[in-house]
């Protein structure tokens, strides 16, 4: 790896994380290296080359799978609480390296340092959750209709879990899947985004340190690098019973069809077109905080970013003024400088999509309230910095119906009761996160009822962005239906088995069937 950045301690962070070898990027330290093309990682912060890795070839992948499948045979027989102990140690290592990994996330992806550190904290939190869960992997006992019989169900590990993650959360989403997979007895093969490969190598190095200390097989956690073609190695592989994929809806449909074609399982976390409903009973100050962070956090590149603000006509002008005034206070610049609120988009392709969205909303008859644009000059040399924009629009605009993965917030007006606002919110194909700002108990309860939000996440008096580890994370409709992280999301990483035990000397059949010999 060739490190070029020295500002804000990035070089020191890379050294601490062990990101130093161009050949890293295949597994946890196997005796072979990736032999594919060179993949270069440039920072959107300053446009500089951070490092290079080699991509994974098909032959490399076969070696990885051989290591992983062999490791599974050992790992699955390790008692779950002992697997939890390994996850605990991994969480402790993350605590030690939180500052370094948070800086790398911020520099390679472009999110603010606070968000980068927050992402590592998510990794620590899911480890804590998984450690407790390792002693609670439960089944059920059921009464049998046959005398002298006992029925119960239990869960067994699946095997190799394939993880495909996106650039916007280059480490946290991997950890959601990995921590739960590990305590369930699975092993993991991870393809991080080709836009943030060094974050993947850093995580793999941390895990390898823990495995080596405990004399565990390296294949419990494996890494492959490259573009979608490397991901296809896993999606087509019958040795990988579960593919957990995070990314665009377009990508998710391709993965789902490929995996379903071989009767595998998919866990999909796809696009979001998230809205906050603002009713006449809303606290305006809270609304502004929730809406602005939701819209500009991670430069609008979160799957839970706030895209639409649905405001009642009676308070529309008041809310519009408050939000547009708040945008005047935003500071855009190097995300490692904690005085800045907004960092860059991931690359210049994302900038083009941002510009296209602003052009589209005007072409459809919308009005730009807070002007966007690409920033240039000192500090913006990467060409990835843009101004967060606000546009007045209508719910049926094509651009509003699509996910705009950039800091563009659409203001929509509704009249009448809250049911009309809910209809607007639900009137898109995505169904990830949603929120309502109201102090009216009836409105809040209706929003959370079967007649309310059709999203996987529905919040009251907080924004759409940000989720706690304890709850299951995921969405409906074209968001994919997957659930990760908390609650009983662990069950997707295991196979369910129903068992019946006959402890008599007779063999009665179910449903009273007679079969005498």
- Write the DSSP assignment of 456-501 as a string of letters: SEEEESS-SS---TTSEE--EETT-S--EESTTGGGGGEEEEEEEE
**Structure tokens given for 237:** 């592989």
Is 184 annotated in the active site? no
Name the β-bridge partners of 100: none
Number of residues written out for the chain: 517
What residues have CB less than 8 Å from 99, skipping those under 6 apart?
13, 117
425-444 as b/e: b if 16+ CB within 10 A: beebebbbbbbbbbeeeebb
How far apart CA 78 and CA 216 sit, in angstroms, is: 10
**The residue to which tokens 């500052």 are assigned:** 99
Q: Is 166 exposed, middle or buried (0-12, 13-18, 19+ CB in 10 A)?
A: buried
- The catalytic position among 184, 188, 203, 303 is 303
Sign of the C-alpha dihedral computed for residues 108, 109, 110 and 112 taken in this order: negative
How far apart CA 88 and CA 93 sit, in angstroms, is: 9
Is 384 annotated in the active site? no
- The catalytic position among 108, 115, 269, 484 is 269
CB 141 within 8 A of CB 151: yes
Angle, vertex CA 331, rays to CA 325 and CA 333, nearest 5: 155
Strand 265-269 and strand 389-392: the pairing is unpaired
* Phi, psi of 270, deg, nearest 5: -115, -150
* Phi, psi of 341, deg, nearest 5: -95, -35
Name the β-bridge partners of 391: 368, 410
Residues annotated as catalytic are 269, 303
């Amino acid at each position: 790896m060739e490190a070029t950045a020295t500002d804000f301690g990035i070089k020191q962070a890379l050294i601490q994380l062990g990101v130093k070898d161009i050949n890293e990027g295949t597994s946890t330290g196997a005796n072979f290296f990736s032999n594919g093309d060179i993949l270069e990682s440039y920072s959107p912060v300053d446009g500089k080359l951070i490092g290079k890795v080699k991509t994974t070839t098909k032959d490399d992948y076969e070696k990885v799978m051989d290591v992983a499948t062999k490791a599974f045979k050992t790992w699955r027989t390790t008692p779950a609480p002992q697997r939890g102990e390994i996850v605990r140690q991994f969480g402790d290592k993350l605590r030690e390296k939180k500052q370094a990994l948070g800086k790398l996330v911020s520099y390679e992806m472009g999110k603010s340092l606070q968000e980068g550190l927050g992402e590592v904290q998510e990794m620590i939190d899911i480890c804590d959750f998984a450690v407790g869960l390792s002693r609670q992997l439960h089944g059920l006992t059921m009464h049998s209709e046959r005398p002298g019989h006992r029925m119960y169900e239990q869960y067994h590990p699946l095997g190799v879990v394939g993880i495909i993650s996106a650039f916007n959360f280059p480490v946290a989403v991997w950890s959601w899947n990995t921590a739960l997979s590990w305590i369930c007895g699975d092993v993991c093969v991870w393809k991080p985004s080709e836009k943030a490969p060094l974050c993947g190598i850093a995580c793999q190095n941390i895990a390898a340190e823990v495995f080596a200390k405990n004399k565990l097989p390296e294949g419990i956690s494996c890494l492959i690098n490259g573009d979608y073609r490397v991901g296809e190695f896993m999606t087509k592989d019958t040795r990988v019973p579960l593919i957990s994929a995070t990314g665009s809806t377009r990508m998710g449909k391709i993965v789902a069809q490929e995996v379903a074609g071989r009767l595998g399982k998919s866990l999909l976390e796809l696009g979001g077109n998230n809205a906050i409903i603002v009713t006449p009973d809303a606290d305006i100050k809270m609304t502004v905080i929730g809406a602005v962070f939701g819209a500009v956090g991670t430069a609008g590149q979160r799957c839970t970013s706030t895209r639409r603000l649905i405001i009642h006509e009676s308070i529309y002008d008041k809310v519009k003024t408050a939000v547009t005034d708040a945008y005047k206070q935003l500071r855009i610049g190097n995300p490692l400088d904690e005085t800045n609120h907004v960092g860059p988009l991931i690359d210049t392709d994302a900038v083009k999509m941002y510009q296209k969205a602003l052009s589209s909303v005007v072409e459809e008859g919308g009005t730009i309230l807070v002007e966007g644009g690409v920033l240039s000059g000192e500090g913006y040399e990467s060409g990835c910095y843009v101004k967060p924009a606000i546009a007045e629009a209508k719910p049926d605009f094509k651009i509003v119906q699509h996910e705009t993965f950039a800091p563009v917030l659409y203001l929509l007006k509704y009249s009448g009761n809250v049911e009309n606002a809910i209809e607007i919110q639900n009137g898109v194909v995505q169904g990830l996160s949603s929120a309502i700002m109201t102090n009216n108990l009836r409105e809040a309860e209706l929003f959370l009822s079967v007649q309310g939000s059709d999203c996987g996440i529905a919040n009251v008096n907080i924004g759409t962005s940000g989720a706690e580890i304890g709850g299951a994370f995921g969405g409906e409709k074209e968001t994919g239906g997957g659930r990760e992280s908390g609650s009983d999301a662990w069950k997707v990483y295991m196979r369910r088995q129903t068992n019946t035990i006959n402890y008599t000397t007779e063999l009665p059949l179910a449903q009273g069937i007679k079969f005498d010999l």
